[in-house]
Amino acid sequence: MVHKVSLLLAENAVLAFFYEDSIKIGTLAVSTPGLREGGAGTSSVLLGGKYLIVARALSERVAAIYNKMSIVSINTKLPEGEALRLYASLFDRARSGSDAEPASSKG
Where are the domains positioned within the chain?
2-96
Taking only the tens place, the pLDDT of each residue in 57-84 is 999 999 999 999 999 999 999 999 999 9
Model confidence, pTM: 0.85
pLDDT at 86: 95
Q: How many helices (H) and strands (E) does the chain have?
A: 2, 6
Residue 102's pLDDT band, with cuts at 50, 70 and 90, is low
Tell me phi and psi for residue 72, to 5 degrees.
-120, 140
In whole numbers, what is the pLDDT of the chain averaged over residues? 87
Helix (H) or strand (E) holding 73: strand 69-75
CATH number of the 2-96 domain:
3.30.230.90
